[in-house]
């Protein structure tokens, strides 16, 4: 019922179109009831007529009325199709937009634990099932109610006895509906889940095609796909077995009713207890009942599919974003962030609420200053910077910008003021230029050109066939690792962020290029606060302060010279890198 209620909230905004469509559908059905009655009158007139004493004018009148009724029925049929089917498309549009908007608000953790293919399947296959339920389903509901009610009234008017006899087989309908509806929904949900599995596998294979080919796993992946596809076929066949039997059983009941009317009604015509015209009209209305009776089966099928799909969509829509603006969020301008410093006070953080990833972190970064984070893999460096961006939420009163708890700063303002480059950046299947200006408005070609030079991409632009307008393929597949990182750097730099976080963003660059690019960035973004995660001492040493992390804690802090003078972790890292460089030179 919740799925139906939620769908109602979407259809409510189109209530006037819905009412117009329903009225047009009712008029279409009402006009469809006229032909059998006009044929009845015509046959009865012909039966009684004497060629010498009766005029053909009534037959002309019946013919004109018949053509008029059919013509008007066609007009109203156009309008109900336009409105009712149109509403289903509009609801699909609204629902898809809301679904996508909701996805944009969800936290990173959700996407780490949910398969992309499953999310995509719900946005396509399940939304289509909902649209069909709304469009065709609404028509069937009105059609069934109007046609069944009026046909039964007219049939009772013609012959109560024949009506009762013809309805006896219809008692089977309620049994069939109860038997099949739940089973159809369960089997359809199973099919949709299998489609999600296939979508996920196809998405992963396309994204990881280079790995698959490098390890010669094409045949194994094909076998995996065949197995999933075979499971989908089997589940579809199971659904088809039950839904396929549903429709014929519904038609059989109406056929049985027609046979009874033919036998008993025909005898009454022969005996003169029923006119031939009334018998023909009765059969006409009984034939009209065939569609609603069969449509009940179709509607049950559509409704179970639609409700099952809506529930699957709601599973995603009901996921609450973990990172939200607090009600106490203050009006905070970017200019305030520029002037403020970053303070981290007694920060302890855990992903699962049990094992701490960070413990008692205390740091202070002055405005327009710089901090380097050093430490082994898994020491908590990336987690710390993600907490500053509110990718994950830190405890209250633990991270401050300009003296304000970051939870009180609107997320949009906070993230607008931060530039972030990670080790494995994501690039869109677009031109290099569009990837660089992503998220930035009113940027000039001169700004782009300066940013390209700053990121050390100017020579690469000469190699690409269309320069900066070269399409780089999905995830930047045509670029090297270093080129990807520099494009991502350019994307972060061009927005002139107040805080720039570089999370091992130079890992695919050689030491010379890294030093040149980093120097360009430092000199160009003088009003920016820098947080740098790196494994190269040559880059880290330029920061105002270096914090060395170990097992989620701050092991030591200080400038490069201060830390070198100690016999701590930083000193050991430094000596190890120096010795490695000396060995390379000797070789």
Nearest residue to 527 (alpha-carbon basis) of 503, 499, 491, 553 = 499
How high is the pLDDT of residue 62? 77
The pTM of this model reads: 0.72
The per-residue pLDDT for range 517-540, each reduced to its tens digit, is 888 888 888 888 999 998 888 888
Q: What pLDDT, on a 0 to 100 scale, did the predictor assign at position 583?
A: 46
d(CA 265, CA 259): 10
pLDDT at residue 176, as a whole number = 67
Residues 6+ apart with CB under 8 A from 512: none
* pLDDT average, residue stretch 479-483: 83
pLDDT value for 279: 77
At residue 344, the pLDDT reads 92
pLDDT classification of 586: cutoffs 50, 70, 90 = very low
Q: How do 529-533 and 370-375 pair as beta strands?
A: parallel
Residue 77's contacts (CB-CB under 8 Å, 6 or more residues apart) are: 24, 28
What is the mean predicted confidence (pLDDT) over 467-484?
81
Question: How much is the average pLDDT of 313-324?
Answer: 86
- What residues pair up with 548 in beta bridges, in sequence order? 374, 556
Report the SS3 class of residue 404.
strand
Q: Which residues 6+ apart lie within 8 Å of 255 measured at CB?
A: none
pLDDT at 554: 92
pLDDT of amino acid 373: 92
User: In this predicted structure, what is the pLDDT of residue 358?
Assistant: 92
Q: What mean pLDDT is reported for the chain?
A: 81
555 backbone dihedrals φ, ψ, rounded to 5°: -80, -40
Greater model confidence, 294 or 390: 390
Within 402-451, strands assigned E span 404-405, 418-421
Q: What is the pLDDT of residues 284-296, one digit of tens each?
A: 777 777 667 666 6
Q: What length is written for the chain?
A: 587
**What value does the mean pLDDT take over residues 103-130?**
82
- Report phi then psi at 462, rounded to 5: -75, -25
Where helices occur in 114-217 by DSSP H, the ranges are 116-121, 127-158, 160-167, 171-207, 209-214
Q: Which two tokens stand for residue 163?
A: 């009506």
User: Which residues, including other chains, have CB under 8 Å from residue 410's CB and lie 6 or more apart?
Assistant: 325, 329, 332
User: Which of 260-264, 274-278, 342-346, 514-518 tops mean pLDDT?
Assistant: 342-346
Spatial separation of the C-alpha atoms in residues 112 and 583, rounded to whole Å: 41
223 CB-contact burial (10 Å; exposed 0-12 / middle 13-18 / buried 19+)? exposed
Q: How far apart are CA 301 and CA 241, in angstroms?
A: 12
Q: Which residue has the tokens 């469509």?
A: 21
- Which letter, b or e, does each residue of 298-325 get, where b requires 16 or more Cβ atoms within 10 Å of its Cβ? bbbbbbbbbbbbbbbbeebeeeeeebeb
DSSP-derived letter for residue 319 is P
* CA nearest neighbour of 36 among 334, 387, 338, 278: 278
d(CA 470, CA 477): 12
Question: pLDDT tier at 432 (50, 70, 90 boundaries)?
Answer: confident
pLDDT higher than 60, residue 52? no
414 burial type by CB count under 10 A (0-12 exposed, 13-18 middle, 19+ buried)? buried
Q: How confident is the model at residue 64 (pLDDT cuts 50, 70, 90)?
A: confident
- Is residue 9 scored above 50 in pLDDT? yes
Q: What pLDDT score was predicted for residue 587?
A: 46
358 beta partners: 349
Q: What is the pLDDT of residues 228-241, one digit of tens each?
A: 888 888 888 887 77
Residue ranges of domains in the chain, CATH in brackets: 2-197+238-317 (1.20.1560.10)
Cα 67 to Cα 272: distance, rounded to the nearest angstrom:
31
Please compute the mean of the pLDDT values over residues 186-192 and round it to a whole number.
Answer: 79
Work out the angle between the directed axes of helices 2-11 and 86-105 (0-180°, nearest 10): 110
Residue 353: strand, helix, or coil: coil
Q: What is the pLDDT of residue 371?
A: 92
Q: Can you tell me whether residue 346 is helix, strand or coil?
A: strand
């Amino acid at each position: 019922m919740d799925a139906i209620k939620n769908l109602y909230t979407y259809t409510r905004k189109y209530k006037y179109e819905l009412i117009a469509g329903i009225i047009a559908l009712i008029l279409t059905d009402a006009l469809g009831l006229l032909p059998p009655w006009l044929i009845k009158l015509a046959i009865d007139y012909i039966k009684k007529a004497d060629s010498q004493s009766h005029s053909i004018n009534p037959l002309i009148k019946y013919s004109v009325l018949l053509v008029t009724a059919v013509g008007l029925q066609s007009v109203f049929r156009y309008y109900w199709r336009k409105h009712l089917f149109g509403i289903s498309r509009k609801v699909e549009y609204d629902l898809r937009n809301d679904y996508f908007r909701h996805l944009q608000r969800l936290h990173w953790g959700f996407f780490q634990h949910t398969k992309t293919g499953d999310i995509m399947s719900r946005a396509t296959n399940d939304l289509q099932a909902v649209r069909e339920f709304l469009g065709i389903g609404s028509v069937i509901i009105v059609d069934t109610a109007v046609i069944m009610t009026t046909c039964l009234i007219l049939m009772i008017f013609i012959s109560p006895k024949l009506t009762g006899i013809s309805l006896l087989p219809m008692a089977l309908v309620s049994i069939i509906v109860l038997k099949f509806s739940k089973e159809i929904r369960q089997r359809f949900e199973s099919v949709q889940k299998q489609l999600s599995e296939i979508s996920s596998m196809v998405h992963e294979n396309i994204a990881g095609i280079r790995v698959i080919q490098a390890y010669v796993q094409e045949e194994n992946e094909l076998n995996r796909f065949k197995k999933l596809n075979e499971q989908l076929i089997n589940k579809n066949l199971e659904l088809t077995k039950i839904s396929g039997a549903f429709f014929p059983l519904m038609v059989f009941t109406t056929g049985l009713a027609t046979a009874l009317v033919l036998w008993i009604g025909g005898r009454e015509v022969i005996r003169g207890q029923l006119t031939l015209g009334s018998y023909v009209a009765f059969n006409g209305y009984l034939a009209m009942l065939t569609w609603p009776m069969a449509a009940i089966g179709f509607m049950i099928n559509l409704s179970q599919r639609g409700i099952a799909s809506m529930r699957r969509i709601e599973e995603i829509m009901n996921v609450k974003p973990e990172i939200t603006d607090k009600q106490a969020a203050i009006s905070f301008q970017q200019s305030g962030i520029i002037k403020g410093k970053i303070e981290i006070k007694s920060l302890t953080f855990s992903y699962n609420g049990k094992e701490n990833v960070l413990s008692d972190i205390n740091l202070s970064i002055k405005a327009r200053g710089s901090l380097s984070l050093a430490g082994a893999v898994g020491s908590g460096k990336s987690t710390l910077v993600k907490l500053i961006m509110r990718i994950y939420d830190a405890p209250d009163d633990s991270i401050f910008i300009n003296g304000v708890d970051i939870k009180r700063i609107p997320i949009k303002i906070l993230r607008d003021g931060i530039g972030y480059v990670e080790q494995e950046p994501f690039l869109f299947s677009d031109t290099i230029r569009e990837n660089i200006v992503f998220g930035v408005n009113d940027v000039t070609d001169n700004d782009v050109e300066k940013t390209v030079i700053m990121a050390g991409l100017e020579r690469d632009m000469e190699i690409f066939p269309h320069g900066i307008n070269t399409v780089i393929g999905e995830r930047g597949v045509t670029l090297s690792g270093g080129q990807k990182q520099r494009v991502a750097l350019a994307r972060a730099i061009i927005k002139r962020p107040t805080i720039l976080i570089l999370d091992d963003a130079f890992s695919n660059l050689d030491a010379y290029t890294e030093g040149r690019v980093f120097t360009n960035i430092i000199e160009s973004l003088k009003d920016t606060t820098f947080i740098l995660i790196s494994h190269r001492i040559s880059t880290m040493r330029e920061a105002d302060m270096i914090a060395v992390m170990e097992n989620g804690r701050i092991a030591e802090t200080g400038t490069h010279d201060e830390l070198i003078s100690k016999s701590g972790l930083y000193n050991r890292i430094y000596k190890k890198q120096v010795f490695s460089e000396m060995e390379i030179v000797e070789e």
